[in-house]
Chain A
Amino acid sequence: MSGSPDFKAITSTAELFAIVRLMEESSAERYRELAEAFEISCNNLETAEAFRALAEGEDRHAAEFPAPVGPLGALKPWGEEDPEIADPGAVHYLMYPWHAYDLALRHEQETLAIFTALADATTIPEVKAEALRLVEREKGHMDRMRELRDIQPIPPDDWDEDDDPPNWEASD
């Protein structure tokens, strides 16, 4: 249901950095929430650990940008949603760490697409230059995420089969 991002709202590199920092922070928060959910409500500690590591990675990414001076106010450049907020419906209580990194990889990919579109759309040279740098940065993140994913054990085909399902023997 997400609308297309409103790139015109960004008029300076300071604003762009503020937005990127916010994106990274909200991703960190979301990954942390997932880590807690996996730990508290379904005892999936490995995946919880993966999300916790992802959250810490996003913390580091956020710290690369200066904290905005003053409140962001109504600055909402990406329309409806922050692209790096993980889609709640995209997780499964039996998912493996491999899935967690795969999910993160997809989100880095979405972010990359956003920055690419920003570089194309903006008419402000400084913003365009920074957007292109961000594209390169995201490519690096994606490579790193792919590496992290690929060192995880590959989930078996029947990874989502539950011998003790939440509502036992689904009738279909």
Chain B
Amino acid sequence: MNAVTYAAKDFKSDVKPVWCPGCGDYAVLSSITKAFADLGLKPHETSVVSGIGCSSRIPAYTNTYGFHSIHGRALAVGQGLKLARPDLTVLVAGGDGDGFSIGGNHFLHACRRNVDLTYIVMDNRVYGMTKGQPSPTTESDWDASAMAPPGGTGMTPFHPLAIALAAGANFIARGFSGDPNGTAEIIAEAIRHPGFSFVAIMSPCITFREEQREWKETMRKVGMEPTTDSAQAARRLMTDDGYNCGVLYRGNRVSYGKDKIASAAVSDLDAEFTL
């Protein structure tokens, strides 16, 4: 049979995004579909799973099997899907509130569990869908919204990459929506890498965080080769200012899960209870 190849546009659906004009998520969608095409994946053997939030609308905009689930639970749905169907390529995507606040516990344990899937967080450091509240990654003094307390939250922002490393993620990278080709390459590498791959993509919310337009100037390519040494990665991440883009850590842990091989028939299970 001739191998059918799919272009990036074959991975996009006809559903029009509800994102604001200028939202970084458009470019992330393009990067994801480009990565799928570059990897030679097939839409029907690929799945995009999300939670709730602006960026979590993404599955409907792809032509893959998708699941727009509930707030914070995308990683649980995605891991269940991958464990039940190891043959599928599973990509879980969402925002910073979805992934690090309500879904924080699942994030930690997904890193630990190391199921072979890729998790993309489109980080804009704000709750966009509910109109501008601070998120776990919001700067502690940000108060440029009526939805934020005067003087800011006073809370230290969550450091997703350092936490991912500490929790055991097997691949850690940062991308920027303003660099769609570079981000597509990172996503493709993340999908290829075994185990739990975490890609934080800085994706500006120009509606509630107008100042994030400047990320175009502040984001930079990380000047170092990715390390496989977690201690070195830890040092890099703890001194990281949040603007270094690229693959930062490549681990070599074995993915979670065993091959599904039946060694008994269902009727064999009766023996344990039969007198």
Contact = CB atoms under 8 A, between A and B. Distances in A.
Tell me if chains A and B make direct contact, with any CB pair below 8 A.
yes
Interface stretch (A55-63, A88-96, A106-114): A88-96
Contacts of B21: 34, 37-38, 41-42, 44, 47, 91-93, 95
A87 interface: yes
Interface residues of B, number: 39
B213 A1 contact: no
B17 interface: yes
A33 interface: yes
Contact of B17 (A1, A37, A82, A89): A37
Contacts of B20: 37, 41-42, 93
B26 A166 contact: no
Contacts of A1: 176, 178-179, 182, 216, 219-221, 245
Contact of B216 (A47, A82, A87, A172): A87
A88 B26 CA distance: 8
Contact of A87 (B144, B178, B181, B207): B178
B179 A89 contact: no
Interface string B128-157: 000110000000000111111010000000
Interface in B14-69: 16-24, 26-27
Contact of A88 (B22, B143, B181, B220): B22
9 contacts: A37-B26, A42-B20, A80-B179, A81-B179, A89-B213, A91-B21, A93-B21, A167-B132, A168-B146
Interface of A: 1-3, 33-34, 36-38, 40-42, 44, 47, 76, 80-82, 85, 87-93, 95, 166-172
